[in-house]
Copies of this chain bind each other. A is one copy, B any other.
Amino acid sequence: MDEAEVIGRLQRIATHPAARGLKDDAAVLDGLVLTHDSIAENVHFLSTDPPASVGWKLVAVNLSDLAAKGAEAAGALLSMALGGDTAWDAEFLTGVEHACESYRLPLIGGDTIALPPRSPRVFGLTAIGRAAERVPDRAGGRAGDRLWLIGTIGDAAAGLKQLRADPRASGVLVEIYRRPVPLLADGRALAPLAHAMMDVSDGLLLDARRMAVASGCAIEIDLDHVPLSGAFVAEFGGDRAARLFAATGGDDYALLAALPPELDAATLCLPSATRIAAIGTLRDGRPQLRLTSNGAPLDLPESLGFEHSRNHDRNDSGAPVADRA
């Protein structure tokens, strides 16, 4: 049973409507939106990452799932493996607390556990949000919708690449890799309007394909319209290779939304700092992803992002990868 089979089996078990077929970012139960993501040392973060940034990231990646559902943060359960390095643990908690305070997420429970000696650190968080009137899922996209990206992509993957080359690397891209910002206000503003919405965590192309499959539409993305940050372009340029790297990198925590075509950025009432770009269109046809550049079709790259199967083998390299479906 590989991981696809595990997920298939879980989906067959999870028949309750609250589960949304396990195909969404979160469950919805009694007006609450519930999500759980775990992070492990040397898989989702680096041993050399500052512990406060690890605590921040744990909270932020879970809040990003709430953002994608337009939910308001209501509470969190923290599952903390104590590592024996008490200074590390204290700094980690500082990061958790900082993120919780920044996004008004009350810590309301959880557990602490011991792990055997020399285990990698593992942390989990259950984030609970209050649902707005509408909780968009991945499946509601319709032919004719425009596909919008809220935020930028590629920065985190670029920061990770810099850290792999030099563990002492620093700068904006490294900071974005370590301290993602969940787009909660944007998610709340878009939730009543979006036919489909999800966060981009495993790579834009991979997550867009997931939305296409769930919605039963083709999704066409214009690579030239994919927004890159100034820091990214300064470091990696903006040519096709750089754009494909950004669009498949993962760990972005941007939002991807399918909106009716009559809406445009000016009418969306998003927070003033929000960067939003129309990057594609939903079309009738086989549920798949298509890519264009300069108006011409482009072959899809071999890897669209970090698929689960790529990092669920105990015998793999254990290299840090994104894995935040």
- A-side residues, CB < 8 A to B, are 1-3, 5-7, 9-10, 13-16, 18-19, 22, 26-27, 29-32, 34-44, 74-75, 77-87, 89-90, 93, 96-97, 100, 106-120, 122, 124, 126, 128, 130, 308, 311-316, 318, 321, 323-325
Residue of B nearest to A29 (CB): B75
Counted per complex, copies of this chain come to 2
User: In the complex the two chains form, what is the Cα distance from A261 to B306 in whole Å?
Assistant: 60
Q: Which residues of B contact A86 (CB under 8 A)?
A: 1-2, 5
Nearest-neighbour CB distance to chain B for A302, whole angstroms, equals 20
A114 with B84: in contact, given A35-B109, A79-B36, A108-B14 (CB under 8 Å)?
Answer: no
User: In the complex the two chains form, what is the Cα distance from A87 to B316 in whole Å?
Assistant: 18
Q: Which residues of B contact A43 (CB under 8 A)?
A: 113-116
B6→A89 contact, CB < 8 A: yes
A314 with B83: in contact, given A43-B113, A109-B34 (CB under 8 Å)?
Answer: yes
User: In the complex the two chains form, what is the Cα distance from A267 to B1 in whole Å?
Assistant: 51
Nearest-neighbour CB distance to chain B for A12, whole angstroms, equals 9
A1 with B124: in contact, given A10-B107, A80-B6 (CB under 8 Å)?
Answer: no
